Amino acid sequence: MKVALSVTCINDALYPETGKAVVRLLRRLGVEVDFPAAQTCCGQPMVNTGYLDEAVPLVRNYVETFAGYDAVVTPSGSCAGSARHQHALVARRSGDDRLVAAVERAPKTYELSEFLVDVLGVSDVGAFFPYRVTYHPTCHSLRMLGVGDRPLQLLREVRGIDLVELRAADECCGFGGTFAVKNSDTSVAMGTDKARHVRETGAGFLVAGDNSCLMHVGGILLREGSGVQVMHLAEILAST
């Protein structure tokens, strides 16, 4: 199976450790992913802000980059959601029938926990992370992709982990893409409540499947001097 890694624009520029963790983890599980360097961004920020025309070249680049693969794996629920639920919309907007067809034919983009549990059929990935951790289910992975408790299945098998439940876990953290700056006051109010719930667990680490949400809540936890660190799911699963 030819698998490509779509590392995401945010991870490429700001959180390369997450990308490295995915590579290391999958390698340990016997999967050598490719990183087609032509990749840039899935286009979600444009689509979700209403700039469909501006998303067209990005979707075109995405489809062309990953065309030869059987599957694409990405450490982001929101990017996987965008590829699966928004690329067809953007292609139709472009008016380019070839792009519409290419999107239809495109290999499926899996969020990491979906790939591990559904495609590789594993929940114990041989990880070791002896710390207290609390998990926040990011909204796109929870409601758009329906990953359910796959991330928790994976986390529960991590040796040494002390997994504590987060209060009001299902509630949105308040990032919401450009919402974080267009409606920054509401965004911060939501993130502050999420940060408070995180601190209440006594966990040293907040884990999630999206670095965008972690950047927002983590930014608040840092500003509060809470001592709680944020960590992407991939990095915990890659730890040994």
- Please report, as residue ranges, which positions from 197 to 236 form the binding site for other proteins (by CB under 8 A): 215-216, 218-220, 222-223
Which of 73, 174, 210, 234 lies at the binding interface for other proteins (CB under 8 A)?
A: 174
Is 156 or 240 the residue whose CB approaches other proteins more closely? 240
Number of residues near other proteins (by CB under 8 A): 71
Is 163 or 235 the residue whose CB approaches other proteins more closely? 235
Told to check if 184 binds other proteins by CB under 8 A, we report: yes
Told to check if 76 binds other proteins by CB under 8 A, we report: no
Told to check if 187 binds other proteins by CB under 8 A, we report: yes
| 59 touches 91 (CB < 8 A) | yes
Told to check if 46 binds other proteins by CB under 8 A, we report: yes
Told to check if 148 binds other proteins by CB under 8 A, we report: no
Told to check if 137 binds other proteins by CB under 8 A, we report: no
Is 34 or 118 the residue whose CB approaches other proteins more closely? 34
Is 102 or 144 the residue whose CB approaches other proteins more closely? 144
Which of 4, 6, 11, 238 lies at the binding interface for other proteins (CB under 8 A)?
A: 11
Q: How far is the CB of 58 from other proteins (least distance, A)?
A: 5
Told to check if 40 binds other proteins by CB under 8 A, we report: yes
User: HEC profile for the chain?
Assistant: CCEEECCCHHHHHCCHHHHHHHHHHHHHCCCCCECCCCCCCCCHHHHHHCCHHHHHHHHHHHHHHCCCCCEEEECCHHHHHHHHHCHHHHHHHHCCHHHHHHHHHCCEEEEHHHHHHHHCCCCCCCCECCCEEEECCCHHHHHHCCCCCHHHHHHHCCECCEEECCCCCCCCCCCCCCHHHHCHHHHHHHHHHHHHHHHHCCCCEEEECCHHHHHHHHHHHHHCCCCCEEEEHHHHHHCC
Which two tokens mark 201? 């667990």
Which of 120, 164, 179, 196 lies at the binding interface for other proteins (CB under 8 A)?
A: 179
Is 143 or 199 the residue whose CB approaches other proteins more closely? 143
